Amino acid sequence: MEKKELLRALPKVDELLNEEVVKMSLDKAMRIFVIESLRESIDKYRKEILDGKISEFSKQDILQCFDNILKHKNDPNLKSVINATGVIIHTNLGRSLLCKEAALNVLRVAENYNNLEYNLEGGQRGSRYEHVEDLIVKITGAEAAMVVNNNAAAVMLVLSTLCKEKQAVVSRGQLVEIGGSFRIPDVMSFSGAELIEVGTTNRTHLYDYENNINENTGVLLKVHTSNFKIMGFTEEVGIEELVELGCKYKIPVVEDIGSGVLIDFSKYGFTHEPTVQESIRKGIDVVTFSGDKMLGGPQAGIIAGKKEYIDRIKKNQLTRALRIDKMTLAALEGTLKFYLDEKEAVKHLPTLYMILSSKEEHKKRAHKLKNKLQKEINNINFTIDQDFSMVGGGSMPTERIQTYVIKAKCDEITPEQMELKLRKNSTPIIVRVFNGEIIMDLRTIKDSDFEVIVEAFRNITV
């Protein structure tokens, strides 16, 4: 048939709506999705005709195409994926996983009315921040605490409260950019603080801070350079010295600690990562950190420190714009609770578990998954190898955690094609491609992912 005739033979949407299969689909799917799917399948055939790709088609073909399109119309855009990259706090893949208890808390609070801003003791209006403040105080040793949307918001709120139209003195070596082009200097300028950079990239001394203090100084700011390390000839001013200097001039000392580390990782054989508790113990006035990095909870920004400053921060009108919602609070409470007993935190919180679990454990799991895969799939060659996982999220950048990976290679398709197919799986599987092979790190794969991975590989070459 000629193109013209073929085009004329294309059915109309209204016509297809009378087809039995389409009528039946209206019982299961929203009408708007059914119509969109019909239109898209007709359009697809129109394009193929115009491109000269087909010389014939039946109505059945179009209905089949419609069915395939409709099947995926209900899929959420934000879906769960399998992280086989070995990057534990993967910012593109949603950072930390919530523990079961935190996730259940979210569900409970989302499906029901709750006491978000209602004081059940007095039967009157309450504060949404109370639900987690006591926990944060207990865990960190701070006098008071407050939570907002994320750590960037926390930094902004603190500076806007303590340093508006004043100067924040910060070491040049700590002016970091964090993924997604979050730049400390930019956030500071939004808050209305003026940035005074002191020292050099690799060395800053106490006198660099002191020489820049004047009647207009609002805060002394320390930023934890969590996502890079300056090696060699370096010097940073410690918290104790900064606190002493702040005391002398009556200027608050603020620290953006980035990753909210609440346990001492050196106990588990890692290089020491400064903890929130240490900063508080050393007398820092205000510290801010993320909820969804090393802390292993939901996206949140936690502010902890001296009561006089936290009280002022709570009164800032900006808190209204940066406030944390009920679902996040539910998740945060469910996460923080475990830190009351470090053993429980390490056992329950997926982020901590993934960082601290032994490579031997992942070796066993690698063998288990590999056997499942190889038993069913013959045309792909699976091997097990040692490799390194990363903490990610700009945390502990030099730490390489020993792990086990499964590598996959196939003569029929390239690793790039395999990667694409896994990524397009109904539950997408995100893998690395290296040296002509697919690499899947067991450390970030959950046991419950195993079946999905086997099923995806089953479909890869058919």
Site residues (CB under 6 A) for ligand PLP? 150-152, 176, 178, 182, 223-224, 226-227, 256, 258-259, 290, 301, 394
Least distance from C-beta 395 to ligand PLP, angstroms?
7
Amino acid at 323: R
Structure tokens at 447: 């046991």
What residues have CB less than 8 Å from 432, skipping those under 6 apart?
A: 84, 85, 86, 438, 439, 440, 441
Least distance from C-beta 154 to ligand PLP, angstroms?
8
Measured CA to CA, the distance from residue 283 to residue 305 in angstroms comes to: 9
Complex with ligand PLP: residue 69 or 163, whichever CB lies closer:
163
The end-to-end CA distance of the chain, in Å, is 32
Measured CA to CA, the distance from residue 441 to residue 86 in angstroms comes to: 5
Q: Which of 113, 163, 103 has its CA nearest to residue 313? A: 163
Report residue 255: phi and psi, to 5°: -125, 125
Q: Which of 67, 12, 76, 75 has its CA nearest to residue 34? A: 67
Complex with ligand PLP: residue 179 or 436, whichever CB lies closer:
179
Least distance from C-beta 147 to ligand PLP, angstroms?
11
Residue where the block lists tokens 């395999």 = 418
Cβ atoms of 397 and 373 within 8 Å: the answer is no
43, exposed or middle or buried, with CB in 10 Å at 0-12, 13-18, 19+?
Answer: exposed
Complex with ligand PLP: residue 218 or 301, whichever CB lies closer:
301
Least distance from C-beta 208 to ligand PLP, angstroms?
20
Cβ atoms of 222 and 174 within 8 Å: the answer is yes
The dihedral region occupied by 131, where left means phi > 0, alpha psi between -120 and 50, and beta the remainder, is alpha
Measured CA to CA, the distance from residue 227 to residue 390 in angstroms comes to: 12
Least distance from C-beta 146 to ligand PLP, angstroms?
15
Where do runs of H (alpha helix) occur along 142-236?
151-162, 184-190, 206-210
Q: Give the H/E segment covering residue 289.
A: strand 286-290
Least distance from C-beta 370 to ligand PLP, angstroms?
35
Complex with ligand PLP: residue 133 or 292, whichever CB lies closer:
292
Least distance from C-beta 387 to ligand PLP, angstroms?
25
Residue nearest to ligand PLP (CB): 258
Complex with ligand PLP: residue 261 or 422, whichever CB lies closer:
261
Max Cα distance, the chain (Å):
90
Cβ atoms of 324 and 300 within 8 Å: the answer is yes
Least distance from C-beta 196 to ligand PLP, angstroms?
19
Least distance from C-beta 300 to ligand PLP, angstroms?
7
Least distance from C-beta 224 to ligand PLP, angstroms?
5
